[in-house]
Amino acid sequence: MIFESFEAPGLSQYSYIVGDAGTIAVIDPKRDIDTYLQFADRKGLRIAYVLETHIHADFASGARELAAASGAELCLSSYDKGETYVYRFEHRALKDGDELPLGAYSLRVLHTPGHTPEHISLLLVEPGRSAEPLAMFSGDFLFIGSVGRPDLLGEDEKLKLAGALHNSIGLLKNLPDGMLLYPGHGAGSLCGAGMAQRQESTLGYERQTNPFLQIEDKDAFVKQVLGSVPEFPDYYRRMKQVNSAGPEILNGIPGAKHLPLREFQAVAKEKDAVLVDLRRQEAFGGAHIPGSLNVGLAPNLSSWAAWVLPYDRPILLIGDAQTNLEEARRALIRVGLDSILGSLRGGIGAWLESGSKQAHIPQISVQELREVLNSPQSAVVLDVRSPGEWKSGHVEGAMHIPGGELPKRLNDLPAEKPVYIICGSGYRSSIASSILERAGRRHVTNVNGGMTAWNNQKYPVAKG
């Protein structure tokens, strides 16, 4: 048997290759599809099927483009008809019980609605030996230690979907304890709450340890699952629309061109491009192009870029000699930010050496923040962490606006007061600082080390 798993960093998203006898299927592929094409070429394999478990909300699907590039059959759920989001491009519609042959194995379709109405799981079986499945590719239905959130379609649908999720869990009773479980996401994804760090499990182990598999009463289950959902990123609605229509065929990773300074400036003005600075927060604070947004090249670049960058504007990238621009471009297209025009040749150094205007955002330590708070000056501490992090402990008197909500809540901040922005470590607060500066706010300061440093200094916190 052929088996390989792939992880998209930052999104905690898993995709899989499975097959036999030189023929493979790719399940839930990410947008940069060259990963799968190169794997198949190296191994001399034929991609026969490209499958999706559902219409994804947190990343741009690569299924349509991979099927077109490989000649594979694109196989998607048939249970989208009449729903809020439907597949609007050509594909083979799979229904419950359908089987796709892969040498001595096959993939059997199991309709498991709840996370979304059309959601399917894929059971790997070996018909010549047993009808019992060896493994389940569960997408966002069943995670390790958790289940998929049922609130993606809004208030009107979430109760019905939560009930459907409970019914889908009931389907597991006929499946063996030894069946391997391969989910669509791991810890760090916002598609479910409380996921374990492990990338695989068995159904038997989940029956013993997954709290959602131990709630038999439907009403109690619905209350528990809806009460545990993480924050809802605004970009999820956009991603559902993109994946329903079918993401644009890219034929490669856009934005490879390195633009000389004058051309970079001209393109930025002509195209009204968003300038994205990929450097660490300390470097960005020291000097950057006025109006640029600091979304540092880190594992979570994809998700934060999707939260704060506008989808209707082209993007120009800025880095330095250490910046892996290809990695950044891949991270952006994974969340549908495709209009990447290129990057500044020579990076930020070329801009500074030209004598062009530059901006700065002060960076302070938690010790300095403590001194500010003990002084008579009037200042605002803005905490941009998630609601769960905020409740676990925050600077007393701080204001809370989750970072992903900041672009639409700028007017919530008191005018003219100095703002000191804090997060967990300094990464998200630097994004927020650049958003405020770009919006024309003065007296913005980023707190390096964030609440991690604050707690390490054993400074007091408020909870709840």
Q: Provide DSSP, 400-416.
A: E--GGGGGG-GGGSPSS
The tokens for 122 are 């894929």
pLDDT at 416: 83
The string of DSSP letters for 100-116 reads: EEETTEEEEEEE--SSS
Distance between CA atoms of residues 171 and 368, nearest Å = 57
Distance between CA atoms of residues 358 and 437, nearest Å = 12
List pLDDT tens digits, range 165-212: 999 999 999 999 999 999 999 998 999 988 988 899 999 999 999 999
DSSP 361: -
Distance between CA atoms of residues 11 and 56, nearest Å = 12
Alpha carbon dihedral 25, 253, 8, 322, in 10-degree steps, equals: 150
Torsion sign (Cα): 189, 195, 196, 202: negative
Active site residue 423: yes
User: Which residues have a Cβ under 8 Å from the Cβ of 141 and sit 6 or more positions away?
Assistant: 53, 112, 114, 115, 119, 121, 147, 148, 165, 168
Q: Going from the N-terminus, what domains does the chain have, and what CATH number goes with each?
A: 2-245 (3.60.15.10), 258-353 (3.40.250.10), 363-456 (3.40.250.10)
Of residues 266, 257, 277, 282, the one with CA closest to residue 348: 277
Do 188 and 251 meet the contact criterion of CB atoms below 8 Å apart?
no
This prediction's pTM: 0.95
Q: For residue 41, count other CB atoms closer than 10 A to its CB.
A: 10
The string of DSSP letters for 327-356 reads: HHHHHHHTTT---EEEEETTHHHHHHHTT-
Q: What distance lies between CA 27 and its chain's CA centroid?
A: 17
Backbone angles phi, psi at 275, to 5 degrees: -95, 120
Q: For residue 69, count other CB atoms closer than 10 A to its CB.
A: 17
Angle between helix 218-227 and 155-170 (nearest 10): 120
pLDDT at 314: 98
> Whole-angstrom distance between the N-terminal and C-terminal Cα of the chain?
51
Distance between CA atoms of residues 450 and 281, nearest Å = 12
Helices (H) and strands (E) in the chain, counts: 15, 24
Q: Assign 393 to helix, strand or coil.
A: coil
Q: For residue 270, count other CB atoms closer than 10 A to its CB.
A: 9
Burial class (CB in 10 A: 0-12, 13-18, 19+), 183: buried
Do 302 and 334 meet the contact criterion of CB atoms below 8 Å apart?
yes
pLDDT at 16: 98
pLDDT at 9: 85
Burial class (CB in 10 A: 0-12, 13-18, 19+), 320: middle
Parallel, antiparallel, or unpaired for β 201-202 and 180-183? antiparallel
C-alpha triplet 429, 433, 437: angle, nearest 5°: 175
Residue numbers in the chain where pLDDT is lower than 50: none
| Extended strands (E) in 73-129 | 73-77, 92-94, 99-102, 105-111, 120-126
Selected catalytic residue, list 193, 259, 423, 451: 423
Of residues 443, 413, 446, 408, the one with CA closest to residue 427: 446
Distance between CA atoms of residues 350 and 358, nearest Å = 12
Of residues 68, 183, 176, 178, the one with CA closest to residue 122: 183
pLDDT at 197: 84
